[in-house]
Amino acid sequence: MLKSLLRYQSSGGNVSENYTRKKLCENGVTNSLQSNFVLLLKLSEELLDKWLSYPESQHVPLCQHMLGFAMKSVTQVVMGSTFEDDQEVIRFQKNHGTVWSEIGKGFLDGSLDKSPTRKKQYEDALMQLEFILKKIIEERKGRNFSQCIFIDSLVQGNLNDQQILEDSVIFSLASCIITAKLCTWAICFLTTSEEVQKKLYEEIDQVFGKGPITPEKIEQLRYCRQVLCETVRTAKLTPVSARLQDIEGKIDKFIIPRETLVLYALGVVLQDPSTWPSPYKFDPDRFDDESIMETFSLLGFSGTQECPELRFAYMVTTVLLSVLVRRLHILPVEGQVIETKYELVTSFKEEAWITVSKRY
């Protein structure tokens, strides 16, 4: 879907090529997360230290903090050590925000093409993102680095420069926003259910005890995964999805031509009461049922169909929650009304505020 909205026109586009590029992205997520686990832990602990320093009555701007955390995490894991410099992250975030806001609105309602000023700002921001990525892609070619980043898997694959650039831009744009919003919604939902937060803390304590958080033990956090699945479902994190039809398809008497962009109304399906009892209730326990998890998998939210950006976001959010919930009670601000904004990724209309208190 992002490829179409960005108006990228790669050569080829056959089934074999699309499969290869998908596998390279999946490998990029796996390898970069493994190589940068310590980095994700460090960034999570930096945020924890920041929150621990606040008085218990202080209101914390959740959306702002999660966007900053996601930008730092994604830029370093996807593009490398250049983004250890906070100024580079800020520049990337500014350009990312300009591009994403137009993807989420300007293309969909046609207003971008009607505003020369906005269109130039969008094109300049996208050009800046592409320039940064082209530079990093060239730097990574034919060289070995101790830190494996997402782009390395694309560079080492049998792709041309334009394909590497497109997939890097798409992954960078989507993973930043999906990670930020998944972190935000997960923490927000935890503030609404003391029971869920207590159960998550107990699992984290049982798995890690007083020991370090490690990649091997992270995999044991089954209830945390249920919390994230239910967050995606309840928030309708991605209310609409789309993919190009690789081959000609047919539904009843209707023919779907090859290269047709097929839209999936996930926001409707994720809260269909015939599949999800009490669909508006945040209830991670529903994912105890393997059949429910299988249904979720078929929609592309887990298993082999899971999109690489969401799989990346799941791991980053799991590390963050393990660090935060282990040390903090996360609390709501009384009287706050949360209003939702539905675009390509669901967000809050206004800032969401929380408070935190130490567990010990």
CA nearest neighbour of 323 among 228, 204, 235, 224: 204
- 2-56: per-residue pLDDT in tens? 776 777 765 445 667 777 888 899 999 999 999 999 999 999 999 999 999 999 9
Say how many domains are in the chain: 1
DSSP string across 310-329: HHHHHHHHHHHHHHHHHHEE
C-alpha–C-alpha distance, residues 264 and 68, integer Å: 30
Q: Which residue has the higher pLDDT, 128 or 291?
A: 128
- 242-279: per-residue pLDDT in tens? 666 667 888 788 888 876 767 777 777 788 888 888 99
List all residues 6 or more positions away from 242 whose beta carbon is below 8 Å from its beta carbon: 1, 4, 261, 262, 263, 264
C-alpha–C-alpha distance, residues 35 and 146, integer Å: 9
- The residue with tokens 């830190």 is 147
Average pLDDT, the chain: 89
Q: Find the CATH number of the domain harbouring 241.
A: 1.10.630.10
C-alpha–C-alpha distance, residues 272 and 249, integer Å: 25
Which pTM value belongs to this model?
Answer: 0.91
Distance, C-alpha 101 to centroid of its chain: 16
CA nearest neighbour of 197 among 171, 227, 240: 227
Please give the backbone phi and psi of residue 250, each rounded to the nearest 5 degrees, phi first: -145, 130
The answer to whether the CB of 311 falls within 8 A of the CB of 29 is yes
pLDDT given for residue 13 in this prediction? 53
Q: Please measure the distance between the N-terminal and C-terminal CA atoms of the chain and give it in whole angstroms.
A: 46
Q: Structural domain of residue 216, as residue ranges?
A: 1-358
List the binding residues.
307
- 213-230: per-residue pLDDT in tens? 999 999 999 999 999 999
The answer to whether the CB of 322 falls within 8 A of the CB of 224 is yes
Q: Which residue has the higher pLDDT, 48 or 106?
A: 48
pLDDT given for residue 329 in this prediction? 97
List the binding residues for heme.
307
Write the CA distances from 243 to 4, 24, 144, 201, 246, integer angstroms.
Answer: 9, 18, 34, 38, 9
pLDDT given for residue 267 in this prediction? 73
The answer to whether the CB of 10 falls within 8 A of the CB of 168 is no
